[in-house]
Chains A and B, each alone.
Chain A
Amino acid sequence: MSLRRYAARRLALGLVQVLAVVTVVFLLVQALPGDAAVALAGDNPDPKRIEQIRVAMGLDRPPLERFGDWVAGLARGDFGVSLISGRPVVEFLHDGLGPTLVLAALALVLLIPLSVLLGVLAALREGGPLDRAVTTVTVGLHSIPEFALAVVLIALFGVQLRWLPPTAVGADLLGQPAVLVLPLVVLVARPLCSISRLVRAGMIDALASDHVRHARRLGIGVTRVRFAHALPTALAPAVQQVARTTDWLLGGVIVVEAVFVIPGLGTILVDAVAGRDLPVVQGLAVVFAVTTVVVNLVADLLVFRLAPRSVAIA
């Protein structure tokens, strides 16, 4: 199959996936107890007032009609407006995307070279003290949840030693890079462990494979064999893990955003779900779904390039 046909088929599938995700999200939020009017009324739940809020928000219209309007708007590139504040959903996405992208991009920039380096080093010293040390640390670190790690790091480096700011409250992320250090450490810690383990395993397999042995027999230099012949094969599974990590970075940084007070997409999602602010939740669902589809598409294409046979068979 050609790369182009493969990409086209995957894109079409991706579009269907995005629509499905958005529909499911709509149904799930509908199924939650209470609606935006109830959430907004809070501790002053006078039924008359809730009814008025409901009418003012257009929540008295049938759900199917509201969903239809929203999808029709989406086709025109219109994400609608927040039920609660009346601000366009695009503004929410724009506001939240910045901090989350900064975090995700920096995490990836650190994560990929670090994990490849760690994995390759461990593989080349297989069974040695370095390999065993790396294995112990990565397996141990991987078992610590982000939340726990964040709390410990903040207590130690933020509050006790005062080396780094404990939160990013009111800070400009790029203007004061110090606030990014602890969140990035927390974000990178676990995927670093899983990806470097995959690289290590892939590298060991690749170094023992026929084509690497063949390349060695042909008298090609050790470095070239390792990095031009063995590494690409070793990276294929790691690339797919990186793709999954990217989804996680965009959607699952909620914990990190909450603990370090970084107002990104995760925070917006939590607030929007709590407020039953459907247009915002759906807008975020579109962004997350599209990102996931695109990232996985890119990963698959990369794997296709790195190891064509594995995709062709699938």
Chain B
Amino acid sequence: MHPLNRRGFLGLTAGLSIAALTGCGTQTPTSAASAPRDGGRLRAAFAGGGAKEVLDPHLANLFVEAARSKALYDKLADLGPDVSAQPRLAEKWEPDATLTRWRITLRQATFHDGRPVRAEDVLASYARILDPNRAFRAKSSLAVIDLANSRAVDERTVEFALQRPFVEFPNVLAAFGAYVVPAGTEDFTSPVGSGPFRFVSFEPGKSVLLKRHGEYWEGAPHLDELEFVIANEESARTNALLGGQVEYAHDLTPTTARGHEAGGRMAIHRAPNSAVQAFAMKLDRPPFDNRDLREALFLLADRPQLVESVLAGSGQVGNDLFGKGYQHYADDIPQRTRDLDRAKFLIRRAGAEGLTVKLDTSTAAAGMVEAATVFADQVKGSGLTIEVVTGNKDSYWSDTLKNGSLSSFRSGAMPIETHVAQRLLSGSGTNVTKWARPEFDALYDRAVSTVDAGRRDEVYREMQRSLHAEGGYLMWGFADWIVGAAPNVGGISTAPANTLDWARFDKVWLG
């Protein structure tokens, strides 16, 4: 629709993020840099879930489901390159003075069957997610909505009533899985959405074929057809791409990227600050209920070495805070570096010399076991001993929430506010570090009810200062998200995974 504007925007953001975040050159495919071209079928290989795969966007859990949902459906908002909420189906949002009533104006958009997207569809979709008898992923995010008192003002205006003042409400509209479906939809065998692609066919565990939705509100996609195929092994995705069987391979390892960057048969696209890699210490039990020991671990981590060896250089060092490069990130806090002497002193002061701590890890996410092993090595000679215990990968996240005192942790991108709400409040459902402080909860409440953006930012920074000083997350690095593509594929963005521009195929073309 506006190829020039779009290309300019993408080029600008890509350039900025590379310059600002990586500081080193990321190659862009030369042949694809030519002007966008319409037509063709792009085949994209993702890891899948076999039996788990569904086309119900509210049940989406896997990356492939998120990518497919994005192609078929729209959310009211989605996350921009700095992981702040950007309007999508919602043209604009206006809170009232109390921040408890939000008026949302919908864009003029149509579903694939030609029906307009109405306020009623939005309310019905949210009611489905909030159904007390079901367990959709976005439910906890949407729980702030008082649905009984929300209403459709007219066809294209929704008024949401909230349970409490909440200035970050747009983050809720951008929540993972909060897609808008036509009112009353329960059958997703032939799904209808308002997204840039319409449904053609689905074979669970094998492929989903979609085609261009010509009337998409943001302009029709360049591609005629988009096919998602499933290849669980990373090597299979790489081979399929090298063999010309697919044009896009999602989630490659840094080793693959290094090996094929120069070959010319594959273009490597890195999205910085996509996944945080961390160790989580539990504050409610020994030994890490002792602040000195937490600080000692912070000082024992050799972050550049971890990034170099575990992420094969495809990442940036972390500063024990979530959301590097995101909106509200406290970039003014000095970077922690390794200090063995001070760590030794703190361990002695805590009376923990000779202590052995178990570090729970698993292959549930890439790099976790390797990071645990490297870290155990870095801790040697400090007085502490870390023993790496590899657990079951299918139940790892649930196990680590309850058991142990030190564990591997990894998270994808989300707004800092969401990270805090889900993991760091006394009542949070997935509080791995058991960080529970009334004064911190109060700061959060203050942040989400402060209208003034500058003052709100200051509260976020204060929260991050206390987390940096005393928290339980040792966030040592941020992994790049790596996708490989055929050299003739253009328009692939380098925004962090889980944000709007990640795995976004309506902006991609085959050159």
A residues with a Cβ closer than 8 A to B are 32-34, 38-50, 52-53, 56, 82, 84-85, 87, 92, 95, 151, 154, 158-159, 162, 165-167, 169-171, 258-261, 263, 267-268, 270-272, 274-277, 280
Contacts and interface: CB of A to CB of B under 8 A. Distances in A.
B243 A95 contact: no
Given A44-B430, A85-B51, A276 B245 contact: no
Contacts of A277: 51
B144 to A, nearest CB: 16
A53 B232 contact: no
Contact of B236 (A40, A259, A268): A259
Contact of A272 (B50, B230, B401): B50
B139 interface: yes
B139 A49 contact: yes
Nearest to A160: B242
B407 to A, nearest CB: 12
Interface in B433-460: none
Chain B contact patch, size range: 35 or more
Nearest to A43: B397
Given A42-B61, A275-B51, 11 more contacts: A33-B394, A38-B398, A41-B398, A154-B239, A258-B232, A261-B240, A263-B230, A267-B205, A270-B50, A271-B50, A275-B50
5 contacts: A84-B51, A258-B236, A259-B235, A261-B230, A274-B394
Given A159-B243, A271-B52, A275-B52, A34 B395 contact: yes
A46 B205 contact: no
Contacts, number: 147
A92 B134 CA distance: 24
B49 interface: yes
Contacts of A56: 133-135
A82 B52 CA distance: 9
B233 to A, nearest CB: 6
B242 A159 contact: yes
B192 interface: no
Given A47-B429, A56-B135, A272-B51, A167 B398 contact: no
B227 interface: yes
Nearest to A57: B135
Given A85-B53, A169-B246, A271-B52, A50 B398 contact: yes
B51 A92 contact: yes
A261 B233 contact: yes
Contact of A158 (B52, B231, B243): B243
Interface in B380-435: 391-392, 394-395, 397-399, 401, 410-411, 429-430
B204 interface: yes
A170 B52 contact: no
Nearest to B429: A46
Nearest to B136: A49
Contact of A53 (B135, B206, B227): B135
Nearest to A41: B398
Contacts of B137: 44, 49
A165 B243 contact: yes
B206 A85 contact: no
A16 B246 CA distance: 47
B134 A52 contact: yes
Interface string B264-308: 000000000000000000000000000000000000000000000
Nearest to B227: A170
Interface in B135-167: 135, 137, 139-140
A49 B430 CA distance: 10
A51 B209 CA distance: 35
B227 A166 contact: no
A170 B235 contact: no
A39 B206 CA distance: 21
B429 A49 contact: yes
B229 interface: yes
B245 A46 contact: no
B51 A170 contact: no
B45 interface: yes
B205 A34 contact: no
B430 to A, nearest CB: 5
Contacts of B246: 169-170
B505 to A, nearest CB: 16
A277 B236 CA distance: 25
A261 B52 contact: no
Interface of B: 43, 45, 49-54, 61, 133-135, 137, 139-140, 203-207, 227, 229-233, 235-236, 239-240, 242-243, 245-246, 364-365, 391-392, 394-395, 397-399, 401, 410-411, 429-430
Most A C-beta atoms less than 10 A away, residue of B49, B51, B61: B51
Given A44-B397, A170-B43, A170-B229, A34 B204 contact: no
B397 A45 contact: yes
Nearest to B54: A85
Contacts of A44: 137, 397, 430
Contact of A271 (B51, B365, B391): B51
Given A170-B246, A261-B236, A82 B61 contact: no
Contacts of B245: 165-167, 169-171
A130 to B, nearest CB: 36
Contacts of B203: 95
Most A C-beta atoms less than 10 A away, residue of B45, B54, B231: B231
9 tightest A-B CB contacts, nearest first:
A34-B395, A271-B50, A46-B429, A52-B135, A45-B398, A166-B239, A166-B243, A170-B229, A169-B240
A170 B139 CA distance: 34
Nearest to A35: B395
A46 B430 contact: yes
Most A C-beta atoms less than 10 A away, residue of B227, B235, B246: B235
Contacts of B49: 271, 275
Contacts of A165: 243, 245
Contact of B394 (A39, A47, A50, A151): A39
A79 to B, nearest CB: 13
Contacts of A270: 50
B45 A169 contact: yes
A84 B53 CA distance: 9
Contact of A46 (B54, B140, B240, B395): B140
A167 B394 contact: no
A167 B239 contact: yes
Nearest to A91: B204
A43 B366 CA distance: 13
Contacts of B398: 34, 38, 41, 45, 50
Contacts of B236: 167, 169, 258-261
Contacts of B233: 258-259, 261
Nearest to B232: A258
A147 to B, nearest CB: 10
